[in-house]
Amino acid sequence: MTEYKVPFLDIRGINLRFKTQLINHFEKVLNSGWFILGNHVEEFERQYAQFSGTKHCIGVGSGLDALIVSLKALGVKTGDEVIVPTNTFIATWLAVSATGATPIPVEPDIKTYNITAEQVAEKITSKTKAVIAVNLYGQPADLSNLKDLCIQHGIHLIEDNAQAHGATHREKPTGSWGVINATSFYPGKNLGAMGDAGAITTDNDLLAEKARIIRNYGSPKKYIHDELGLNTRLDEIQAAILLVKLKYLPQDNKRRQEIAQIYLEELKGIGDLILPTTKPENTHVYHLFVIRTKFRDDLQKFLRQNGIDTIIHYPIPPHLQKAYKHLGYRKGDFPISEELSNTVLSLPIYPTMEQWQIELVVDTIKRFFNRQ
């Protein structure tokens, strides 16, 4: 494994800040002898619902499962259509496919990289059941307009909030705009577990109840099965870890925003760089700091040669993946997401990043463009 001076992400360092508390929480679970659907899951669900400004939170096994359970709770099934962004992690699409429904791709806005109500409106048909709005890279999508549009058409808005824990749109938290919302606590997320984990947030009592049943073998009561459910429960150890880390999420997001501000100021006007823009109605929590340049591949190589790791989110859009060959899309069908996949580069950004590391990233990028 290459040792970078600036790794893309420092998960080890992020978690080691809380070593004593994490070990204490782990010991509590160990001593309880109770690992599935116990006090820690209940308490985390209470606190994460409060954090999200929703009445309910249902802990599940992953972000993908959170999306699948949300769609199933809404009754999405074979023959239905669900609108999804072309530029997203493939899990957004896979969740739709897992229900038997068809993902209907919509191109994002080229400035925010998120879908807008105008674009979505063009794709609504009599088969459309739901829209999944991804708050990509940490910035909320066009949530208020998407919510109005969905109400107008009698369809459901679901947020995929895997990348934007703690962001706000019109001063209201992400994860509270859809009728039901899904998130991921994959270790690298702004709020990351130490394994797979995810959650659903909603204000709707019936949907919450349904989601609780679906995550647990379709069972409202032991050995009674009302739905064709799954086994996807947040486990006690992950909940205990998340309870420690949730307390620090606001300050960690603030640090991400400070680092983003330095990048925005220092990289303005450098070469052909396009920097992220935040809409005035949004706060951005910079899960990823994504820049664009036509020299992307060379820049990535130069940064690596100088000890800085970066990642491309995402190199191949879902419509061009083999898994979606059956939908028949070709290169050129979604030019915006294809352009993004050719030009985006995510710079290191994480709460334990040190000042010298931020400066090294900035200086190395400046050096690269001075040579062009």
Ligand X SMILES: Cc1ncc(COP(=O)(O)O)c(C=O)c1O
Residue 213 in contact with ligand X, rule: CB under 6 A: no
Residue 186 in contact with ligand X, rule: CB under 6 A: yes
Q: Nearer to ligand X by C-beta: 190 or 357? A: 190
Q: Nearer to ligand X by C-beta: 312 or 362? A: 312
Residue 63 in contact with ligand X, rule: CB under 6 A: yes
d(CA 315, CA 2): 21
Give least dist CB 355 to ligand X, A: 28
Give least dist CB 91 to ligand X, A: 4
Residue 89 in contact with ligand X, rule: CB under 6 A: yes
| Of 64, 150, 200, 259, the one binding ligand X by CB under 6 A | 64
Q: Nearer to ligand X by C-beta: 161 or 357? A: 161
Q: Nearer to ligand X by C-beta: 133 or 303? A: 133
Half-sphere exposure of 168 (CA within 13 A, CB side): 11
Instruction: Provide φ and ψ at 84, rounded to 5°.
Output: -135, 155
Give least dist CB 184 to ligand X, A: 3
Q: Nearer to ligand X by C-beta: 81 or 196? A: 196
Q: Nearer to ligand X by C-beta: 82 or 360? A: 82
Give least dist CB 364 to ligand X, A: 27
| Of 92, 190, 216, 232, the one binding ligand X by CB under 6 A | 92
Residue 85 in contact with ligand X, rule: CB under 6 A: no
Q: Nearer to ligand X by C-beta: 106 or 134? A: 134
**What is the pattern of x (binds ligand X, CB under 6 A) and - over residues 127-146?**
-------x------------
| Of 103, 140, 166, 198, the one binding ligand X by CB under 6 A | 198
146-165: contacts with ligand X (CB under 6 A)? 160, 162-163
d(CA 72, CA 97): 11
**Closest C-alpha to 68, from 184, 194, 221, 174:** 184
Q: Nearer to ligand X by C-beta: 160 or 368? A: 160
| Total number of residues that touch ligand X (CB under 6 A) | 15
Beta-carbon contacts of 212 under 8 Å, excluding residues fewer than 6 positions away, are 58
Q: Which residues contact ligand X (rule: CB under 6 A)?
A: 62-64, 88-89, 91-92, 134, 160, 162-163, 184, 186, 196, 198
